Amino acid sequence: MLADVPVVFVLAGITAYTVLAGADFGAGIWTLVPGGGQAGAAATRDHTRHAIGPVWEANHVWLIFVLTVAWTCYPGAFGSIVSTLAVPLLIAAIGIIFRGTAYALRSQFDASGEPGVRLVERLFALSSVLTPFALATVIGAITTGRVPVGNARGDLVTSWLNPVSVLAGVLAVAFSGYLAAVYLAADASRQSERALARDFRLRALAAGVVAGLLAVAGLLVIRAEAPALWHGLSSGLGLALVIVSALAGVVTMVLVWLSRFGAARASAALAVAAVIAGWAAAQEPRVLPGLTVTQAAAGRATLIATIVGVAAGAVVLIPSLALLYSLVLRGRLDAPGSVNEPDTAGAAKATRPGRADGAGSAGRTRLEAAFAVVTLVAGAGLLVFADPAWAHGLGALALVACAVTVFALAAEPPGSPGSSGSPES
């Protein structure tokens, strides 16, 4: 019984990360295809960027929480998973890093017409697609029993590039876009942006249909490729949770159709959470082939210490996150200069001192951005692919240089040389 408690923590963390960070990734997806609406592509990108600004970093707390609890309480299973699935996990990590870097760099551009801004926006959008896809392939590999117990015992390619895993990745991207469209429609409605609310309402309906069709296709693929998982999903608690997810999805579609976006947020989150719970119920009590939760668990002292630590941390973390999300939902953290406010920033920029040599400042910003990208790639490459200790040291220094450069770009005060003065920075 004690060994099952950290599993509940891990599943809660995965659910929170999927529902919250998944919506952030979905917002990035909609910046990749922003056209086709009444509000226009520029307004769509601005709305998505402002909406995720207060929470996108906080949402990654859940991923760190899941990883920490998993490697502490189930070290053997964790080692087997990360060694066999090193490739998709590395892809996800790179996607998260590039996405954060692109988001920070985007705030240094004054307008969409500046040189380099489209490259940064595309990097942000593509990273938002790549990361949920890669993370979902990890889940697909685990559920289909392609991760054997032991260090790198599974195939490094076919373990995560198989029909179930690939479909799981595509479904994760669709779910992210679906959640984001519902959340962004709610934000636009709160800000009285009728065109944006109408656009994202239609996107939510379309994404919901696509996600529903992919979910049905996923069940058919699971039936053919993973009979054990299919049995768990088609009987008992697993079947009940699949039904709950389907009903919640239908309710969400009805609420979105009626423009009841606040309630649609909750039902959309329930639909996605039920999918994760259904997967866990179908796989219980296995973690990996031939390894149960009890067998994978660490010692009693470690489990108790982790449970106590999580409980103590929750006293601080949960109220803090609840306050943050409540402020966001009530619009208390809406950024000045958002799409529903007059553009007073542009006039201010024209009169700021230090803007005369805007070309030189923009050039310096581009050089700093290029340096950040080069040091990021070099640091990651040296740490991952090189063996000598000196190469690891250079890799660490390169990543530190990247972090310092990105921080300097994001922290420059408005009106200073090299600063964009953007209200988003």
Question: Where does residue 260 fall: left (phi above 0), alpha (psi -120 to 50 degrees), or beta otherwise?
Answer: beta
Return the top range by mean pLDDT from 252-261, 385-394, 400-409. Answer: 252-261
Ranges of each domain in the chain: 2-329, 360-416
Ranges 228-242, 252-266, 373-387: which has the least confidence: 373-387
66-94: average pLDDT: 93
344-352: average pLDDT: 42
Q: What is the pLDDT at residue 148? A: 92
- pLDDT value at 414 more than 50: no
Q: What is the pLDDT at residue 415? A: 47
Q: What is the pLDDT of residues 377-399, one digit of tens each?
A: 888 888 888 888 888 888 888 88
Q: What is the pLDDT of residues 109-165, one digit of tens each?
A: 665 555 677 788 888 889 999 999 999 999 999 988 899 998 889 999 999 999 999
Question: 71: pLDDT confidence band, cut at 50, 70 and 90?
Answer: very high
Ranges 84-88, 111-115, 369-373: which has the least confidence: 111-115
Report how far apart, in Å, the C-alpha atoms of 411 and of each of 105, 371, 372, 406, 422 are.
11, 17, 15, 8, 11
Instruction: Summarize the chain as % helix, strand, coil (round to 5).
Output: 75, 0, 25
- In this structure, the strands spanning 286-288 and 291-292 are antiparallel
What's this model's pTM, rounded to 2 decimal places?
0.77
Q: What is the pLDDT at residue 310? A: 92
- pLDDT value at 356 more than 50: no
Question: 350: pLDDT confidence band, cut at 50, 70 and 90?
Answer: very low
Residue in the block written with tokens 């209200």: 423
